[in-house]
Amino acid sequence: MAGQGRGRRVWRGRAAGCALAALLLAAGCSAPGSAPDATRGQVQRILDRRAAAVLGHDEGGYLAVVDPAATGLRAAQRAEFDNLAQVPLASWTYTVDSVARQGGTVTAKVDLRYRVEGYDSAPVSAARSLTLDQRDGHWYVAGDQPAKGAAQMLWQQGRVTAVRGGHSLVLGVGQDAARLHQIADTADAAVPQVSAAWPGKWAGRVVVLVPASLDGMAALLGAPAASYRGIAAVTTGEAGGSTAAPADRVIVNPEAYSVLGDLGRQVVLTHETTHVATRAHTSPATPMWLSEGYADWVGYRGTGRTAAQAAPELQQAVRAGDLPAALPDDADFGFDGGADRLARAYEGGWLACRLIASHWSEATLARFYTKVGDQPHREGAVEKAMSDELGLSSREFTTMWREYVRGQLA
């Protein structure tokens, strides 16, 4: 995966000189640069063969590059290869970024890149750390694991079942086919809802990953499970990406998702699909209240839910005399502030986007979102977009938003 992007919906109760000399000595080389380059090339050729075996569904070829003495690794690699069987791959490549050799052992930092056929316009990237041992003049893979800080891949958790929808591909581990079909149906309904609200160009399709458990979800994100307890789904990807940006994945937390009703599931997947659609115009300049608020606005659009129904935590605060003084800041969307604070942040962002859509227009809201995200820096981005699209200063909009929140929730 390319790394965790923004996109998570909270449903509580209802739910990434000397050094060169040392390397040459470790490689036992005498000519500067020659041995590392030669070893790197050898490793690259081995991995090229491995990639060809994946695409060719050649288990024997895949295992031929694995150390024959590493029985545990061979068993794990065979299982991983089998787990991939249903994943429709358009490409699978390895790029060796660096090698460090010490005698007959090499540690290689490798970038695995793959595309899912029919869904990814650009590859997903996964950083791997490989160990290779030399036996009888040949190099063999003796270790394969995520690089430090990198996440697991779904097929490393078990056999993947693939379900194709009209606009979606659902890849699940430890899930029955009926449940995956239900998720595909919900994702299929989300895609046209997003396209109807978001005028920007996007792929019009989504890939959903469904691990067996919350722990599986956390492993896919490279984060502690506690960070996602109660979070029904998240979206991964690169903010501010172009059409060449790594593909997004919606990752479902099966434990939180399963307790939602039909409406909750639809809102969740529509919210996450919105992040996929708006990714090219979501950047470091985009505040969380806007990216999450807009995704919620699209998620609730057309559902008939009132402000009180969709923003119960914020309503409780307002009725207790705690009207927020400012739009939610990014810190409000953190997990360490408590679930109530997090819910109020989402609800406040949603109401800000709802205000723009209702007082100006839905087209204005989309232009505002795009203009903010297209700015090169966070500083001044929202202020410029508000002036250009809303005719207000940030202070004036905040005042208007506070009155709107009061009027909707008091």
Per-residue pLDDT tens digits for 273-332: 999 999 999 999 999 999 999 999 999 999 999 999 999 999 999 999 999 999 999 999
Delimiting residues of CATH 3.30.2010.30 domain(s) in the chain = 1-15+153-282
Distance CA 185, CA 152 (A): 26
The b/e string for 15-41 (b: 16+ C-beta within 10 A; e otherwise) is beeeeeeebbeebebeeeeebbeebbe
Instruction: Tell me 386's DSSP state.
Output: I
- Say yes or no to pLDDT of 242 above 90: no
- Residue 199, CB-side half-sphere exposure with 13 Å CA sphere: 10
Question: What would the CATH number be for the domain defined by 18-150?
Answer: 3.10.450.50
- In this predicted model, which residue has the larger pLDDT, 195 or 19? 195
Distance CA 132, CA 156 (A): 20
Q: What is the pLDDT of residue 15?
A: 34
- Residue 66, CB-side half-sphere exposure with 13 Å CA sphere: 20
The 10s digit of each residue's pLDDT in 92-107 is 999 999 999 998 899 9
Q: How large is the average pLDDT for residues 142-164?
A: 94
The 10s digit of each residue's pLDDT in 107-139 is 999 999 999 999 988 888 999 999 999 988 889
Confidence bin at 18 (pLDDT 50/70/90): very low
The 10s digit of each residue's pLDDT in 30-84 is 333 345 678 899 999 999 999 999 999 999 999 999 999 999 999 999 999 999 9
Q: What is the pLDDT of residue 105?
A: 93
How big, in percent rounded to 5, are the helix, strand and coil portions of the chain? 50, 20, 30
- In this predicted model, which residue has the larger pLDDT, 229 or 356? 356
Q: What is the pLDDT of residue 248?
A: 86
Q: What is the pLDDT of residue 397?
A: 98
What residues contact 249, with CB distance under 8 A and at least 6 apart?
Answer: 1, 124, 207, 208, 209, 235, 236, 237
Q: What is the pLDDT of residue 236?
A: 87
Q: What is the pLDDT of residue 64?
A: 96
Fold of 1-15+153-282: Zincin-like (3.30.2010)
Q: What is the pLDDT of residue 246?
A: 52
What percentage of the chain exceeds 90 in pLDDT? 79
Distance CA 235, CA 245 (A): 14
Distance CA 232, CA 8 (A): 7
- Say yes or no to pLDDT of 7 above 60: no
Q: What is the mean pLDDT of the chain?
A: 89
Confidence bin at 247 (pLDDT 50/70/90): low
406 sits in which H/E element: helix 394-409
Assess contact for 95 and 123: CB atoms under 8 A. no
- Say yes or no to pLDDT of 214 above 90: yes
Q: Which string of DSSP letters, residue by residue, matches 265-322? A: HHHHHHHHHHHHHHGGG--TTS-HHHHHHHHHHHHHTTS---HHHH-HHHHHHHHTT-
Nearest CA to 327 among 279, 372, 281?
A: 372
Structure tokens that stand for 312 in this block: 């119960």
Structure tokens that stand for 39 in this block: 């070893």
Distance CA 162, CA 170 (A): 6
108 sits in which H/E element: strand 105-116
The 10s digit of each residue's pLDDT in 22-34 is 322 233 333 333 4
The 10s digit of each residue's pLDDT in 318-364 is 999 999 999 999 999 987 767 899 999 999 999 999 999 999 999 99
The 10s digit of each residue's pLDDT in 366-400 is 999 999 999 999 999 999 999 999 999 999 999 99
Assess contact for 314 and 405: CB atoms under 8 A. yes
Distance CA 39, CA 255 (A): 46
Delimiting residues of CATH 3.10.450.50 domain(s) in the chain = 18-150
Q: What is the pLDDT of residue 295?
A: 98
Instruction: Tell me 159's DSSP state.
Output: P
Distance CA 276, CA 270 (A): 10
